[in-house]
């Protein structure tokens, strides 16, 4: 390197999260860095709601729209697009239809996003089924909240209407969707989040594997 030359400044990079609701995207904003292999880029959110799971016959254009918005957000930040994460509530339990839908969505995502790493958060039944993997986080948010022992042992991917289940069984004050990001934040802060948590939820495990595979792609 000549004396007059200067080392090039490394371009910053971002991961963009798209999804149905603001609270769900904020949950992933906390979760992705905890699962990311290595130093995680800044995680940004697309504000426009994206309802991917219901776009059965318009999947390719919907994904292309997400890609364009993500690239635009990264460009606005003068950053490189390092990954795209998409959230969708399954609104069903993890069964054979879940596996079929997830396979189709992931195949199409890889086709549209090509060299950009991606991950699908297809949450069964809802993102609350993922929060329940981390029972110790709940009393950090509300001291009187406590998950039932039987819920800690169950297959949470087979729990229908997880959100309503928490509203009914968690304790007072009643759980609200707006509590979800803080619960995940506390789970990460407490060191409870990993690719293989103590609890069981297939849809979470599939998402964690998507993120883990980013290391293999680099």
pLDDT for 190 beyond 60: yes
Between 44 and 3, the more confident residue is 44
Distance CA 218, CA 208 (A): 17
pLDDT for position 2: 42
Rounded Cα gap, residues 35 and 195, in angstroms: 7
Query: Strands, E, within 103-149: which ranges?
Result: 118-123
* pLDDT band (50, 70, 90) for residue 9: low
Token pair belonging to 85: 């994460």
Residue range 33-48, pLDDT digits in tens: 999 998 999 999 998 8
Q: How far apart are CA 128 and CA 90, in angstroms?
A: 12
The residue behind tokens 């069981």 is 200
Banded pLDDT at 57 (limits 50, 70, 90): low
What percent of the chain has pLDDT above 70?
91
pLDDT at 4 over 50: no
pLDDT tens across 92-146, in order? 999 999 999 999 999 999 999 999 999 999 999 999 999 999 999 999 999 999 9
pTM of the predicted protein model: 0.91
Query: Of 92, 70, 76, which is closest to residue 161 (Cα–Cα)?
Result: 92
């Amino acid at each position: 390197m000549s004396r007059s030359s200067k080392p090039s400044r490394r371009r910053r990079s971002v991961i963009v999260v798209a999804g149905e609701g603001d609270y769900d995207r904020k949950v992933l904003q906390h979760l992705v860095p905890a699962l990311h292999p290595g130093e995680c880029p800044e995680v940004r959110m697309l504000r426009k709601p994206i309802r991917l799971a219901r776009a059965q016959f318009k999947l390719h254009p919907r994904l292309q729209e997400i890609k364009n918005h993500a690239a635009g957000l990264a460009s606005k930040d003068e950053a490189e697009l390092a990954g795209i994460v998409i959230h969708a509530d399954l609104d069903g339990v993890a069964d054979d239809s879940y596996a079929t839908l997830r396979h189709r969505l992931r195949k199409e995502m890889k086709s549209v996003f090509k060299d950009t790493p991606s991950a699908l958060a297809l949450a069964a039944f809802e993102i609350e089924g993922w929060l329940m993997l981390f029972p110790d986080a709940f009393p950090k948010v509300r001291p009187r909240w406590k998950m039932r022992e039987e819920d800690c042992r169950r297959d949470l991917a087979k729990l229908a209407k997880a959100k309503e289940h928490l509203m009914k069984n968690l304790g007072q004050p009643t759980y609200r969707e707006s509590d979800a990001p803080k619960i995940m934040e506390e789970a990460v802060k407490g060191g409870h989040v990993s690719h293989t948590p103590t609890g069981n939820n297939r849809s979470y495990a599939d998402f964690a594997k998507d993120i883990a595979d980013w290391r293999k792609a680099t």
